[in-house]
Each structure stands twice: as structure tokens, then as C-alpha cells.
Amino acid sequence: MKKLTIVLAALAFAGAATNTAGAADGDTVKAIKARGELLCGVSTGVSTGMSTLDNQGNWKGMEVEFCRGLAAAVLGDPSKVKFVPLEFRVAFTTLQSGAADILARTATWSYSRDTSLNLDWAGVYMYDGQGFMVAKKLGAKSGKELNGASICVSAGTTSELNLADYFRANNLKFTAITGSTREQNQQNLEAGRCDAYSNERGGLAASRTAMKNPDDWVILPDVFSKEPLGPTVRQDDARFRDIVAWTLNIIVAAEEFGITRANVSELTKTSTNPEVQRMLGKSGEFGKMLGLEQDWAAKVIATTGNYAELYDRNLGNGSPIKLERGLNSLWSNGGLLYSPPFR
């Protein structure tokens, strides 16, 4: 075993010596192309609906698929992604050090993070926010009816502070029952130790799926905090940030224009809509403007589908989580998703 370790260590340093294409010199795309794969920072398989492992050990989830779409855009091949599992504590520093090209790891975009970490959020692929889950038989329709309730919440988190703010602002009283993990809070709620559980709605939906009988529980419509989750990149590479942002935009725009994973190759040939033609590379030189292939957007859509498909498969009704779209609907349906024009 001693020799084994020496060989391993030697291998690591040999790998280090041969792979010196710079990532921190600001040209992320060049580094990705030299390496032949995108380094995508994800969770350690614990972010339900965003990045988890299936029975065969393959990565799945909305953030995982976003990275595959980005690999399709940059390298033309959605399989050329290496997922870097990161604990939250090391996620931002790993991105800064260049050991990942992008972070797709349920990172909330906030003022202090954006300004002090030397990182940029290239958009938002999920507008999450804090809400309540209660037993259906409680009959509550809104959080404002929870006066005097005992509420489960994770100790020492922003959720706990947001909850206190919400009740103070509405002049209501509550008793906090604190747990340390999502599982613990979920079990406290199920065992009746509290009347409601407050967390981000994505987490609430996952907890609901984990209940013995998910149909007995409802997530109230109130959303009282902003948790915009988006892809995070280093601040020193505006070009790469553009590529990530427009990869997200193309997924949103595809839903707007009815382009799906199934019909994208068909529409590339037949669509008469000038904007769709520009998006899919039929007319104009829109690929070149980003330094990508002409058909990059078609490849992204062929990988992830449009936003509705992507969401439905991983978080929505096509998944066990069944979280309604809420703010994650197109602007034309009362949501916040809006892509600038392809012009």
C-alpha cells in the first residue's frame, strides 16, 4: 500500500505537470477546450432535484443538466462534463481557485456574495423563496393564518431570521421548534411536534416527497424571502459569463417559441420565424458573436429541452418532487423568466 500511494502521488503530480492550460488567466473557454471537458461544481449528491446520483451512479438534476447544456454549447458534446462534487463550505473558493469552471450548486445570489467574492451570477435558473408546509387537514390557506403556531425551522440559518421577520412584520406570534437538518425538521413536522415547517420551497417540496404520505401535506402559496439560484462564474471572464448567461436565455426563449428537445432539429430546418432562425443558426452569424459554433443553441436545446421540459423533469410534475412553477414561469404567464431578444 505504501508503494501504491507513492505511485498515486506521482500520478497526481504528473497530471499536474501535463495540464497547465491556464484557467485563471481569464480565458475560461480556451482552458475548457484545451482540457476537453467542462469542470462543473455541483453538490455532493445531496441537492434533491438539482444534483443527485441515480441508481447507476450517473449525475442527474436540473443543475447537472444545465452543465450538460453548457458543455454542448462550448464543446458541442453534452457528455464532456466532469462533475466536481463540492461541499458548500468549499464551493466558492474552489471556483475562485480555478478547480471548477462554473458552480451550479444551489448558490443564492445576494448583494454581499456578488460584491465580495470576485464572482458573478450569470442569471437565475430558479427563483426559490421561503414558504411554509402544513398538514392538509389543518386547513390553512395562508401563512397569515398561522398566528400562535409552533413552526419547525433549521437553527442558525437565514431561514430562522426570515421567519422571525415575517411574523414581526405581520404582527403575529409563533414558537420556533429548531432542528439541525432538513430530515430532522421533516420528521418533527410529521410527528406533530410543530404545526408548520418553514424552509425554501424547493426544500419543502423535497421534504414533502419524503413524507410517508406526501398527499397529506401542502405548501402554502406565501413566499417571503428571495432565494434566486443561478450559475456562478469567476468575475474575470466576461466572455464566459456571456456564454453561460445566453445558454440560460436560450433555454427560456425556447419555451417562449415552443422549441422542444423533440422538435428542435425539425424546427432548425422548417421554422419560418426569423428570431427562431437566428437562435437555431439558420440565419445570421450568431454563433460567431459568442465565439461558438453556429448551431450551439440547437445543441443546448437538444440536451436540456426548453425550460418547461427541464423544470418538469427535475422539479415539476414529471418528477417525484412535484413543485409547482410559481415564479419560475415565463413572464407572459405571470412568472419572472424573461430572455432578452436574439437580435
Partner 1 sequence: MSTIANSNPTDGGPSRYHARSLVIWARTNLFARPIDVILTSGIALAAVALIWAVLPWAILDATWQGSSRADCRPDAACWAFIINRSGQFIYGFYPATERWRVDLVFLAFAAALLVLLNRRLAGKQVAAAFLILVFPFLSFVLLHGGIGGLPRVTTEKWGGLSLTILLGVAGIVVSFPIAIVLALGRQSEMPVLRWASVGYIEICRGLPLIAVLFMARILLPYAFPPGTEFDPLALAVVGIILFESAYLAEVFRGGLQAIPKGQAEAASAIGFGYWRTAIYITLPQMLRMVVPGIVNNAIALLKNTTLVVILGLFEVLNIVAAGAADPDWLGLHAEGYIFVGLVFWTLCFGMSRYSQRLERDMRSAERA
Q: Does 216 bind partner 1 (CB under 8 A)?
A: no
* For partner 1, the closer CB: 189 or 264: 189
Q: Does 206 bind partner 1 (CB under 8 A)?
A: yes
What is the closest distance, in whole angstroms, from the C-beta atom of residue 336 to partner 1 in the complex? 24
Cell of residue 275, nine digits: 428570431
Q: Does 176 bind partner 1 (CB under 8 A)?
A: no
User: What three-state secondary structure class fits 285?
Assistant: coil
* For partner 1, the closer CB: 11 or 289: 11
Beta bridge partners of 3: none
Pick the binder of partner 1 from 135, 138, 155, 210 (CB under 8 A). Answer: 210
Q: Does 31 bind partner 1 (CB under 8 A)?
A: yes
Pick the binder of partner 1 from 20, 112, 116, 171 (CB under 8 A). Answer: 20
* For partner 1, the closer CB: 60 or 241: 60
Q: Burial of 107 by CB count in 10 Å (0-12 exposed, 13-18 middle, 19+ buried)?
A: buried
What is the closest distance, in whole angstroms, from the C-beta atom of residue 208 to partner 1 in the complex? 9
Q: Does 46 bind partner 1 (CB under 8 A)?
A: yes
Q: Does 320 bind partner 1 (CB under 8 A)?
A: yes
* For partner 1, the closer CB: 20 or 112: 20
How far apart, in whole angstroms, are the C-alpha atoms of residue 323 and residue 208?
10
In angstroms, the Cα distances linking 329 to 127, 326, 333 are 10, 6, 6
DSSP letter at 319 equals: S
What is the closest distance, in whole angstroms, from the C-beta atom of residue 40 to partner 1 in the complex? 12
DSSP string, 143-210: GGG-TTEEEEEETTSHHHHHHHHHHHHTT--EEEEEESSHHHHHHHHHTTS-SEEEEEHHHHHHHHHH
Stretch that binds partner 1, among 68-76, 86-94, 137-145, 245-253 (CB under 8 A): 86-94
How far apart, in whole angstroms, are the C-alpha atoms of residue 178 and residue 197?
10
Cell of residue 92, nine digits: 466558492
In this structure, what are the phi and psi dihedrals at residue 274, rounded to the nearest 5 degrees?
-60, -35
**Count of residues touching partner 1 (by CB under 8 A):** 55
Angle at 212 between CA 210 and CA 218, to 5 degrees: 70
What is the closest distance, in whole angstroms, from the C-beta atom of residue 26 to partner 1 in the complex? 10
Residues of this chain that interact with partner 1 (CB under 8 A) are 1-5, 7-9, 11-12, 15-16, 19-25, 31, 35, 44-49, 52-57, 84-87, 89-90, 93-94, 97-99, 183, 186, 206, 209-213, 319-321
